[in-house]
Amino acid sequence: MIQLQEVKNKKDLKNFVTFPFSLYKDSKYWVPPIISDEVATLSADKNPAFQHAEARYFLAYKNKQIVGRVAAIINWTEINEQKVKKMRFGWFDTINDVDVSKALLNKVAEIGKEHKLEYIEGPVGFSNLDKNGALTEGFDHIGTMATWYNHAYYIDHLEQLGYETEKEYIESKFSFIDLPVERFVRANDIILKRFKLKAGTFTTTKEIVPHLDSMFNLFNRSYSKLSSFVPISDAQRDYFKKKFINFINPEFIKFVFDEHDKMVAFAIVLPSFSEALQETNGKLFPFGFLKLLKAKKTSKTALFYLIGVEPQYQNKGVTAIIFNEFHKSFTKFGVETCIRLPELADNLASHQIWKDFDTRIIKRRKTFKKVL
């Protein structure tokens, strides 16, 4: 018999966060989160997403053992301002038992119906900067700190329970060594002169911090037309700055400014921490932090996390400036391989950015929807 228990205290939340550690203990592709960061993300007193959202967490038990988990999330900005009557579910993990998945998702659906919402979608987080999508292809590729990993049977469970594909995302890989460098150098010079732009590249975190607010404002403008977009609030912006700034090599953040010093484009690349996170097994102390710090400086794989371009400059070659600057930094740090983190499959503007790269799709993931 399957029993559901709602998370009500710190011990329950710790069990909720650490359940995947046992579920994936034999997987060489699953990348564990940092436990303390995951607890903070799910805590209403620490994550500012809760200023505009609410969440309830549930654990499934069978024979007194935890066999599944799910987060039931309501984003009130999405519902009240964008008029999207969506019930969200995320942090969804389960053993290979469709009855466990059914019990968990039925609970989320029940909450959605109580609030008179129209449909349920997941797996998704609180906002666009959270993880989203269940892996549907690429199970034999190592995960990243910015994505969820899951067993293939998750998809079978969702489909058996009547869930249908809502959005599809792709992740791609390309060799930095094979980049068309000369083309970027030529395009860089032309675009800089044509639009009176200049590259902003820095070597210290202190130099970057004054530009981060402008970057998040540009993020909201450049992604606003995507169907899945929910704006990032000022409080969430400050939260993400503190959460990620220590994980980013300052030379892996690039800005482009116009002649009046207004930011018109940005790009954030993360060093890959996958192997380091597997070694730390979710713990920063006593040695985990040192392993992550080493990976920050020596990783040969770079993850393209976000690229944003002011709408009036989109499709005008501005990204050539960004790629030219990354070429310099990647050469300096010995980066060999680049990964494009999840992008909507129908985001043609984003795909156009990469038309000159010999990319290979290595993963696909989807969110799933069911009418309530």
Each residue of 277-291: pLDDT tens digit? 999 999 988 888 889
Q: How far is CA 279 from the centre of its chain?
A: 21
3-state secondary structure 48-94: HHHHCEEEEEEEEEECCEEEEEEEEEEEHHHHHCCCCCEEEEEEEEE
Digit-coded pLDDT (tens) for 26-64: 999 999 999 999 999 999 999 999 999 999 999 999 999
Cis peptide before 123, with omega less than 30 degrees from 0? yes
Give the global pTM: 0.91
Higher pLDDT, 104 or 200: 104
Owner of token pair 């659906």:
109
Q: Give the domain ranges of the chain.
A: 2-171, 174-364
Across residues 190-216, what is the average pLDDT? 91
Half-sphere exposure of residue 247: CA atoms within 13 angstroms, side-chain side = 24
The model's confidence at residue 358, banded by pLDDT at 50, 70 and 90, is confident
List of E strands, 96-163: 119-122, 134-137
Residue 219 has pLDDT above 80, yes or no: yes
Digit-coded pLDDT (tens) for 108-124: 999 999 999 999 999 99
Digit-coded pLDDT (tens) for 228-250: 677 778 888 788 777 777 778 89
174-364: which CATH topology? Answer: Aminopeptidase (3.40.630)
**What backbone phi and psi angles, to 5 degrees, belong to 52?**
-130, 15
DSSP output for 271-306: E--HHHHHHHTT--TTTHHHHHHHHHHH-SEEEEEE
Digit-coded pLDDT (tens) for 310-348: 999 988 889 889 988 998 999 999 999 999 999 888 877
Domain 2-171 is classified in which CATH homologous superfamily? Gcn5-related N-acetyltransferase (GNAT) (3.40.630.30)
Residue 227 has pLDDT above 70, yes or no: no
State the average pLDDT for the chain: 91
